[in-house]
Structure 1
């Protein structure tokens, strides 16, 4: 029988996930880990590969703007197991709608920035006159 996967220290998990040790402790306190964090005989935290995978999901959800209470709720639903997939789907669809709206807003922002970059490139290349203050420079 093969040895079980080795457990990782908090420092190793911080390195793998890009989270600080402080953030990992915060996530644990906030209840966003699916499984309880194990401890070695000295009381130091030990994490499994599943913990790292779950934390990676949490990092991506957080980076996408999902509020911590929503991540916590999603974690609770996963922890409860089968039977609540509809609620999980509703939560993720709502977040996807917010992301889609943000992407639309960012696309409009990028269009403006692209336009302004073009204006200044033309000015610097001598293809257009310098912008006047009244033209929203």
Structure 2
């Protein structure tokens, strides 16, 4: 493949890996230090990190997990189970199902916050227009949303 850059072959510098994964350079160093990445190869002449294809794949998998809200301990658990292969399939399923449930709860909470903000905008829009009926409706809607927040607090 003539003219291929190191970024396309998978032998990436830390800067390239950071851009590709979305992790900062300090995060990549930290993940290496705590063992999430395994040993990262070094350039013989400079000693700079060189991310080989297998490590690039691992970093990209971790980036997906992190973007789903998975914690470092969850990522570590994933990697430990991955090393066990198919024997850990049920545990992997449970790990991902639990993370999906957590993400669904987070999305529900964000939807509630979004509704609150939109109802507040409706309230102020009604005041701008001088529409007392719309203002009363907005206040009722806001109160309903706030009650949902309170219900969530009591059930958690």
Which TM-score band (shorter chain)?
0.7 to 0.9
Aligned pair count reads 130
Seen in structure 2, the aligned counterparts of structure 1 residues 56 and 126 have a Cα distance that, compared at 3 Å, is farther
- The answer to whether 1:29 aligns with 2:33 is yes
Higher RCO (Cα < 8 Å, 6 or more apart): 1
Q: Return the structure number with greater helix share.
A: 2
Q: Provide the residue aligned with 1:52 in structure 2.
A: 56
CA distance in 2: counterparts of 1:124 and 1:54, whole angstroms: 53
Cα displacement (A) at 1:59: 2.4
CA distance in 2: counterparts of 1:67 and 1:11, whole angstroms: 23
CA distance in 1: counterparts of 2:39 and 2:87, whole angstroms: 21
| Ranges in structure 1 where 5+ consecutive residues have no aligned partner | none
Q: Provide the residue aligned with 1:78 in structure 2.
A: 82
Seen in structure 2, the aligned counterparts of structure 1 residues 117 and 57 have a Cα distance that, compared at 3 Å, is farther
TM-score (norm: length of structure 1): 0.78
| Ranges in structure 2 where 5+ consecutive residues have no aligned partner | 143-156
